[in-house]
Structure 1
Amino acid sequence: MSKLIDLQTQIAHLQKQAEEIRGKEFEATVTEIRQKMQAFGITIKDLQATKVKSKAGRKPKVAAADKPAKVKKVTAAVAAKYRGPNGETWSGRGLTPKWLSSLIAQGNTKEQYLIPA
């Protein structure tokens, strides 16, 4: 037999064993859960609750849907302060744009591209 067929046979055998073990452990797990539910007085309704009671005085985590939406600040547009040879503009705020950086690297100055007020 080829190695592939041997491996596939082993896989099928192991999957069958896994299902058998799962079936045996399933009943034991369900029994254990029922015992713990009875010991702690937990009901199905408790399990279906949306919020979990806090532990040791900690506040429960707030779901994302319960948090108020963040309001984004609206800022006014800033007029362009610099204009490049191909019509590019820059307000002078933030990082220097690539088009201006490359012009400065070629020996030009920022002041050459200032837009007259």
Structure 2
Amino acid sequence: MATYSELVSQAQALMQQAEQVRKQELANVIAGIKAQMREYGITVEDLGGNSGAGRKAAAPKSKAAAKYRGPNGELWSGGPGRKPDWVKAALAAGQDLDTFRI
């Protein structure tokens, strides 16, 4: 009977072999698809994809300027949504939010 480390070694070797076979099969499939695309004059756009040409970069999300600074330097814009924990704690302790205004 094989030891645990021998079995793990065999399993790793099989996984490497399986990955090599997968890559080879994938290359064959891709080559076949490309050949059929050339044969029929099909483009990526015909398939509903985008070849990357004309792709726009995602616009960065704008963040509202911070209006409040917490006791440990946390920043908060005071906008809609869930209040940060430090704001909830300060309000629960009876503190005025204006004391944290920047």
| TM-score of the two chains, using structure 2 as the length reference | 0.39
* Structure showing greater relative contact order (alpha-carbon pairs closer than 8 Å, 6 or more residues apart): 2
Q: Which has the larger radius of gyration?
A: 1
Q: TM-score normalized by structure 1?
A: 0.35
